[in-house]
Amino acid sequence: MEKSMKMKFCLNKTLKSNMITFGLVIAAFIIVQLLVNAGQVSSLMKGLLVPICIYTIMAISLNLTVGILGELSLGHAGFMCMGAFSSSLFSISMLEAIPNPGIRFFFAILIGAFFAALAGIVVGIPVLRLRGDYLAIVTLAFGEIIKNVMNVIYIGKDADGLHFSTKNAMALNMAEEGKVIINGAQGITGTPKNSTFAIGVILILITLVIVLNLINSRSGRAIMSVRDNRIAAESIGINITKYKLMAFTISASLAGVAGVLYSHNLSALTATQKNFGYNQSIMILVFVVLGGIGNIRGSMIAAVILTLLPELLRGLNTYRMLIYAIILIVMMIFNWSPKLIDFRKRYFHKNRA
């Protein structure tokens, strides 16, 4: 009797925590919308609304890999790149076939998520046999490969369908009226600008539903058991590869969704070091670390604050990355140094012990 009461209480606690997370997002959305309607938001801030959604989704998605799965991925921007390019290609080539922007964007999101998930599986199957440091370096390598490959791909479309080349736009051999869609290092131009703040928030909510449900499900607990003790998990018959791959692929596809938002928010999309490179992956890692590894709500808040802060404090921009670096180091030493852990235990948790 008492046990079942306890179970019920536990369930309510996670439910309550999830509700707070959803509530925060919805409240933030309503407040921002009211401010926008009242004309209280500067055009600079309006321009940041969609990027905030993008980085929030990226932070949730990376937290699934780093916090819940316990593996460091340094190639998350690569999955974002995959989602961005595949969905842009779809949107542009379907401009005439699907005239309704809403339906087209809906499918674009699915396509982006699908291709990023595919990339996640392709990366995941071989890579998840590796562990720890090796996994980090290989995901980094994959991110760079995706970015490099995107820079040499040429895709064009004419009446016969899609043409593909890795040399240059001339090698596509298209008919007269053919149009180059992906132009090598020049990337994609002319993606319809479908991303809005409202769609971004809806996608954040969907992301949250997926991730929070996964964490509190049977699979989620299996994933966390693999994180906490791989050998113990294996010994009670948990299929490590399956659960790792599951978390990794879901995380990749969510990053792909962020990429779809990204590409449909810009008129020109290129794969550069700045947007899809290693640095971008690190920036998202900073969100996750600052918000709390494994804490979904925290990483969302960190993503929002750290996207807004440099814009609010323009003077800080030169020092932004320096500050990020110091945040990373100090947070890690503060959280993990045995001496500091002892110190905190002695002076701050007296009552709990």
* Binding of another protein by 23 (CB under 8 A): no
Show Cβ contacts of residue 52 under 8 Å, excluding neighbours closer than 6 positions: 200, 303, 304, 307, 308
Distance CA 283, CA 59 (A): 9
Distance CA 39, CA 169 (A): 45
Shortest Å, Cβ 195 to another protein: 29
Interface residue with another protein among 2, 133, 176, 177 (CB under 8 A) is 133
In angstroms, how far apart are the furthest CA atoms of the chain? 78
**Dihedral in degrees, nearest 10, Cα atoms 142, 145, 151, 155:** -80
* Binding of another protein by 148 (CB under 8 A): yes
* Binding of another protein by 164 (CB under 8 A): no
Question: Between 21 and 65, whose beta carbon lies closer to another protein?
Answer: 65
* Binding of another protein by 321 (CB under 8 A): yes
* Binding of another protein by 130 (CB under 8 A): yes
User: Taken in order 57, 238, 1, 352, is the CA torsion positive or negative?
Assistant: negative
Give the type of residue at 317: N
**Interface positions, 41-60, toward another protein (CB under 8 A):** none
Interface residue with another protein among 4, 43, 100, 318 (CB under 8 A) is 318
* Binding of another protein by 136 (CB under 8 A): yes
Q: Beta partners for 154? A: 165, 183
**Interface positions, 178-237, toward another protein (CB under 8 A):** 185, 231
Distance CA 10, CA 214 (A): 16
* Binding of another protein by 333 (CB under 8 A): yes
Q: Which residue has the tokens 């090698």?
A: 171
Total count of residues recorded for the chain: 353
- Which stretch in 91-99, 174-182, 251-259, 325-333 sits in contact with another protein by CB under 8 A? 325-333
- Which stretch in 33-41, 83-91, 111-119, 123-131 sits in contact with another protein by CB under 8 A? 123-131
Interface residue with another protein among 329, 342, 343, 346 (CB under 8 A) is 329
